[in-house]
């Protein structure tokens, strides 16, 4: 069984290797992204070392930021964004304080989201607001899996991150057929290489199983395409502009979200 203690050295080593690789490329964008990771990785390590409270705190911050970015992408009113952030946060807190009741918490959140356009009497945009809110709730509530899955979630996060990087470079080098019209820059060659790398990371971390393998090989690429579909519908390139070199937080966790969803379903 994997533990946080076995993952921490791997995270530190991966960060060091990534820094060297980014420096060798000389690409400013990659160097900026590495600097962001250099700040984020110690925070993640500290959170998982702390245990339930730490992981919950990180999941809550990610949930709120991602919900606000998502609401901004779809042009939802501020009230809708605030309610969505609160609903997703409620599911995350439930995973920590009352495990097993996450579905009930999500149902309460869905009812509150439905009440917002109803009480506002929005006959013109109410249906769109409700649909967008419910999609956001389902999509982002899987962050509760960070709390319930523990070290396994951290292993999947590492594998998905490595897989994304390998897929990016392999797709550029190897070319070939496009993965989907939703993301023309992505190639099947890169996706397959990224999946192989992610599976290798899981094996190295002693976290390789059928559920985790399907999560990183199928769920992660699908998660990236899901966000691409949302962004194309909103006619924007990035979910936000505040995260240096990366756009927004949602751009960085899109693959992880669906990977967690698949893992939670299969487990």
Cα-to-chain-centroid distance, residue 241: 17
Residue 30 has pLDDT above 70, yes or no: no
What is the tally of structural domains in the chain?
A: 2
Are 66 and 143 in a shared domain?
yes
The answer to whether residue 28 scores a pLDDT higher than 70 is: no
For 183-225, what is the HEC assignment? Answer: EEEEEHHHHHHHHHHHHHHHHHCCCCCHHHHHHHHHHHHHHHH
The Cα–Cα gap between 196 and 201 comes to 9
- Which stretch of 38-47, 48-57, 152-161, 221-230 has the lowest confidence by average pLDDT? 38-47
Picking from 149, 168, 195, the residue at the C-terminal end of a domain is: 149
Has this prediction a pTM greater than 0.85?
yes
Whether the predicted pLDDT of 1 surpasses 60? no
User: Same domain, yes or no, for 183 and 236?
Assistant: yes
pLDDT at 4: 60
**Same structural domain for residues 140 and 156?**
no
Q: Residues 237, 156: one domain?
A: yes
Same domain, 1 and 122: no
Identify how many contiguous H helices and E strands the chain contains and give both numbers: 12, 2
Q: Same structural domain for residues 134 and 161? A: no
- Weakest mean pLDDT among 32-46, 65-79, 217-231: 32-46
Supply the range of the domain harboring residue 175: 1-50+150-267
Q: Are residues 165 and 249 in the same domain?
A: yes
pLDDT of residue 242: 66
Statement to judge: residues 247 and 213 lie in one domain: yes
Read off the pLDDT of residues 51-95 as tens digits, 9 standing for 90 and up: 889 999 999 999 999 999 999 999 999 999 999 999 999 999 999
pLDDT computed for residue 33 by the predictor: 66
pLDDT band at 243 (very low <50, low <70, confident <90, very high): low
Give the mean pLDDT of 243-264.
85
Q: Look over the chain and give the mean of its residue pLDDT values, rounded to a whole number.
A: 86
Task: Count CB-CB contacts under 10 A for residue 62.
Answer: 21
Q: Which of 129, 149, 169 is the last residue of a domain?
A: 149
Q: Are residue 76 and residue 130 in the same domain, yes or no?
A: yes
Give the model confidence (pLDDT) of 142-182 as tens digits.
Answer: 999 999 998 899 889 888 888 888 888 888 888 888 888 88
């Amino acid at each position: 069984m994997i533990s946080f203690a076995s993952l921490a050295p791997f995270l530190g080593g991966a960060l060091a290797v990534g820094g060297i690789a980014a420096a060798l490329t000389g690409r400013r964008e990659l160097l900026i992204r590495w600097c962001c990771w250099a700040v984020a990785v110690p925070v993640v390590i500290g959170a998982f070392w702390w245990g339930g409270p730490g992981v919950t705190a990180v999941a809550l911050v990610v949930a709120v930021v991602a919900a606000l970015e998502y609401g901004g992408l779809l042009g939802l009113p501020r009230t809708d964004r605030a309610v969505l952030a609160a609903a997703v946060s409620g599911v995350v807190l439930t995973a920590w304080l009352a495990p097993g009741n996450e579905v009930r918490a999500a149902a309460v959140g869905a009812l509150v989201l439905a009440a917002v356009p109803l009480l506002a009497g929005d006959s013109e945009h109410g249906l769109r607001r409700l649909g967008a809110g419910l999609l956001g709730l389902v999509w982002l509530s899987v962050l509760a899996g960070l709390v319930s899955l523990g070290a396994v979630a951290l292993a999947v996060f590492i594998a998905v991150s490595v897989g994304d990087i390998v897929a990016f470079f392999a797709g550029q080098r190897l070319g070939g057929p496009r993965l989907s019209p939703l993301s023309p820059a992505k190639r099947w060659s890169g996706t397959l290489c990224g999946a192989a790398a992610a599976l290798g990371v899981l094996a190295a971390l002693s976290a390789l199983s059928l559920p985790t393998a399907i999560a990183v090989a199928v769920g992660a690429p699908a998660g990236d395409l899901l966000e691409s579909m949302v962004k194309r519908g909103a006619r924007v390139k990035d979910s936000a502009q505040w995260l240096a070199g990366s756009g927004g937080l949602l751009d960085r966790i899109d693959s992880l979200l669906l990977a967690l969803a698949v893992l939670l379903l299969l487990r």
